[in-house]
Copies of this chain bind each other. A is one copy, B any other.
Amino acid sequence: MRRRTANAAEFNAIPAHVYPQTLRRETAGEHRGEVTIAGVPLTEIAETFGTPAFVMDEEDFRTRCRRLAKAFGGGHFVHYASKAFLSKTVARWVMDEGLSLDVASLGELQVALAAGFPAERITVHGNNKSPEFLRLAVSEGAELIVVDSLQEIEALSTVAGELGKTQDVLVRVTPGVHVDTHEFIATSHEDQKFGFSLASGAAHHAAMACHTADGVRLRGLHCHVGSQVFEAAGFALAAERLLGLWKQLLDSIATLTDEHAVDPSQGVGSDAPTLLDTLDLGGGYGIAYMPDQEALDVEEVASELKSKVRKAAESAGVPEPTLNVEPGRAIAGPSMITLYRVGTVKDVEVADGISRRYISVDGGMSDNIRPALYQAEYDCRVANREVAGELLPTRIVGSHCESGDVLVNDALVPEDVRPGDLLMIGATGAYCYAMASRYNMMTRPPVVRVADGEARLMIRRETIDDVLALEE
């Protein structure tokens, strides 16, 4: 059983590690008792931009970029996974901070390019890249394409040929390592749509196919071990397994006697069909959604992984590769909150003499599907004032016509929360706006960016006219 809020004072005290770094409850002054972010009261944001609204702390986002860049020895090695949350604005922040970018669809690539993000710092993912997507990535000069099927290698070779280019690629490998928060399991086979199996030899086969394909240059291997990972061990095991394959590949290439033969002892130059120098261990770095969680320590993991890769390379007798990583949630997640207005407050008798309070807010599963989809847990606090009274078992629900429309399943909330109060939910920067729908014709909230005492619109609220405009 998770440790719970003990009293109203504890409910009013905001757990700093779950919320954006500039967010605080004011203890003095005009806005005493209110929550501010980058100096802007959330009451003012609600007034100006309406509710529900996503509110993003620019300094928090940038600080996380910098911290990761430092931990991994340079921003170039840290690829922000744009699927977590992407807009032109955040793409520019990522660019400013010197990080690289991951995209996983044509649309993500288009948004990144529209923001002016340099293609030569973009890595391209996807299990089913369309011809149009591949063509755009190659023609714009994407740094790396992570190939995911033999058909793709063939298609890529064709596209590269047509465009007169050589495309650098990584091979996505399923190394049989799955991490679920604190535990990892090691298997051989993997039953998933992504990648090539290490155990079955499919990964070796695919990498050799890249080596021999015209217009494709093999640069290394990629894997992804899980989401919300809190320890380095799973990444380290995956790295070790991938470096074993790495060694096999160098040996296989060295023994080729046909036109694809190269001498790996000569080093493989930039015009060679293979330049094995990049190991990408993906993302999945855990963040604190709840007060009793602690985010993955990125400095510790970076140092452990770098040392592990160095040793594994030494013992495999291969040159130490560059280590790339792909955090998305770990950058965007804690930088955002969702601000809701409390509507209906209802006490429901769930057994004789036992009640649960239902607090309805003006958003719901359309702006955050994660509790319904993954049983994700979130922390909530009242933003416009300090609240008092006994703690009641409370469920925070949305306004959708569906009983599964739950945002926080089981919280302890002081009893005097009332209609009109502002409720904020923390750590909603990743996979909330990105997965938002218009279910029940509840259109997407705006994303408001705050920095240095100023709140500005990043993405405007959708209106019913946006919906109607799609219909002829």
User: Chain A residues in contact with chain B, CB under 8 A?
Assistant: 81, 83, 86-89, 104-108, 110-111, 114, 125-130, 148-149, 151-152, 189-194, 197, 199-200, 202, 343-346, 348-352, 356, 358, 360-362, 369, 372-373, 395, 397-403, 405, 419, 434-444, 456-460, 462, 464, 466-468, 470-472
Is the pair B130, A343 in contact by a Cβ cutoff of 8 Å? yes
| A105 CB contacts on chain B under 8 angstroms | 399-401, 440-442
Is the pair A437, B440 in contact by a Cβ cutoff of 8 Å? no
**Distance of A400 Cα from B193 Cα, bound (Å):** 10
| A462 CB contacts on chain B under 8 angstroms | 470
A-B contact pairs, 29 of them (CB 8 A): A83-B402, A108-B441, A111-B441, A111-B468, A114-B464, A127-B360, A128-B362, A128-B399, A130-B399, A149-B344, A149-B346, A151-B343, A151-B344, A151-B419, A191-B350, A192-B403, A193-B346, A193-B395, A200-B349, A369-B373, A372-B373, A434-B440, A435-B439, A436-B438, A444-B470, A459-B470, A460-B472, A462-B470, A466-B466
Which single residue of chain B is at the shortest CB-CB distance from A397? B193
Is the pair A345, B151 in contact by a Cβ cutoff of 8 Å? yes
Which single residue of chain B is at the shortest CB-CB distance from A470? B459
Count of this chain's copies in the oligomeric assembly:
2
**Distance of A209 Cα from B88 Cα, bound (Å):** 52
| A83 CB contacts on chain B under 8 angstroms | 401-402, 439-440
Known contacts being A111-B467, A343-B128, is A356 close to B458, with CB within 8 Å? Answer: no
**Distance of A274 Cα from B152 Cα, bound (Å):** 68
| A443 CB contacts on chain B under 8 angstroms | 107
Is the pair A192, B348 in contact by a Cβ cutoff of 8 Å? yes
Which single residue of chain B is at the shortest CB-CB distance from A112? B441
Query: Least Cβ distance of A438 to chain B in Å?
Result: 8
**Distance of A411 Cα from B189 Cα, bound (Å):** 20
| A437 CB contacts on chain B under 8 angstroms | 369, 434-437
| A360 CB contacts on chain B under 8 angstroms | 127-128, 193
Known contacts being A346-B149, A458-B472, A462-B470, is A362 close to B130, with CB within 8 Å? Answer: yes
Among B349, B395, B444, contact of A189 (Cβ-Cβ < 8 Å): B349
| A435 CB contacts on chain B under 8 angstroms | 437, 439
Query: Least Cβ distance of A335 to chain B in Å?
Result: 17
Query: Least Cβ distance of A364 to chain B in Å?
Result: 9
**Distance of A216 Cα from B107 Cα, bound (Å):** 50
Query: Least Cβ distance of A87 to chain B in Å?
Result: 5
Is the pair A110, B192 in contact by a Cβ cutoff of 8 Å? no
Among B104, B349, B456, B464, contact of A401 (Cβ-Cβ < 8 Å): B104
Other than A88-B471, A193-B348, A459-B470, give 10 A-B pairs with Cβ distance below 8 A. A107-B442, A108-B441, A114-B464, A127-B360, A128-B397, A130-B399, A189-B349, A191-B356, A197-B348, A458-B472
Query: Least Cβ distance of A329 to chain B in Å?
Result: 12
**Distance of A434 Cα from B439 Cα, bound (Å):** 5
Is the pair B441, A197 in contact by a Cβ cutoff of 8 Å? no
Among B110, B442, B457, contact of A441 (Cβ-Cβ < 8 Å): B110
